[in-house]
Amino acid sequence: MPKLLDPWDHHDWSSKDYVSQWAERQDEREVDREEIFHLMAKTLSSDPGVALDILDLGAGYGALAQFLLNHFPNAKAVCQDGSAEMAKLGGKRMEALKGRFKYVLCDFSKPGWSRKIKGSFNAVVSSIAIHNVREPDIIRSIYAETFSLVNPGGYFLNFDRMTPSQEDQLTWLKEAGFANVKCFWDGGRRALLGGYKK
């Protein structure tokens, strides 16, 4: 029997209508990932007062950045995304955090994207975004470029779909230069992977 395509597997992140429908649909599920966001925060630091510089890759409307900025009231965030519509929506949804975040628009599937992001970060995080590029070699190169954006002592944590396999992605994180690479949470289809920069 042919596999039915999930219409939500084909995203049009440049469309205002698609982005607002996706965000509305995601709102109903937001509670499901609070536990993972919490685990990410606890992994980054046990001290909520720490002044983290955070980069959220493929931030969308900023669900993860917003969670972390609320958890760490002295933190600041750069929200990177390729979609101007997501950035507009994020600007509205994070109005209450104005001054503590900014958006950078760039496409992380294109080599050299990391140079568009000025600065380096104690915490580079990502949620359900990097798999969108689909090509294993591109995911591998995103991990390699991400390494250059992490401060020594900082973390990269990626909560994402495990396509390609978790094993491959752990290997690419190690190849990129991260230490203590591991799976922090395993939900089967999705997992939280990451590593530390010595």
Ligand X SMILES: C[S@@+](CC[C@H](N)C(=O)[O-])C[C@H]1O[C@@H](n2cnc3c(N)ncnc32)[C@H](O)[C@@H]1O
Residue 7, token pair as written in the block? 């219409």
Residue 10, token pair as written in the block? 């084909």
Smallest distance, ligand X to C-beta of residue 1, A: 28
Report the C-alpha dihedral over residues 86, 183, 30, 113, rounded to 10 degrees. 0
Task: Candidates 13, 18, 184, 185: give the one binding ligand X (CB under 6 A).
Answer: 13
- Rounded CA-CA distance 81/14 in Å is 11
Say which residues have a Cβ less than 8 Å from residue 68's Cβ, sequence separation at least 6.
Answer: 37, 40, 41, 44, 52, 54, 56, 75, 77, 123, 125
Is 160 an interacting residue with respect to ligand X (CB under 6 A)? no
Residue nearest to ligand X (CB): 60
Is 81 an interacting residue with respect to ligand X (CB under 6 A)? yes
Smallest distance, ligand X to C-beta of residue 104, A: 10
Strand partners for 195: 156
Smallest distance, ligand X to C-beta of residue 89, A: 9
Smallest distance, ligand X to C-beta of residue 152, A: 26
- Rounded CA-CA distance 42/175 in Å is 25
> For the window 102-121, what string marks contact with ligand X as x by the rule CB under 6 A?
-----xxx------------
How many Cβ atoms sit within 10 Å of the Cβ of residue 128? Answer: 18
Task: Candidates 37, 41, 58, 103: give the one binding ligand X (CB under 6 A).
Answer: 58
Binding segment (CB under 6 A) for ligand X, from list 40-48, 94-102, 126-134, 164-172: 126-134
Is 64 an interacting residue with respect to ligand X (CB under 6 A)? yes
Strand partners for 160: 191
Is 90 an interacting residue with respect to ligand X (CB under 6 A)? no
DSSP state of 123: E
Is 133 an interacting residue with respect to ligand X (CB under 6 A)? yes
Q: Which residues bind ligand X (CB under 6 A)?
A: 13, 26, 58-60, 63-64, 81-83, 86, 107-109, 127-129, 132-133
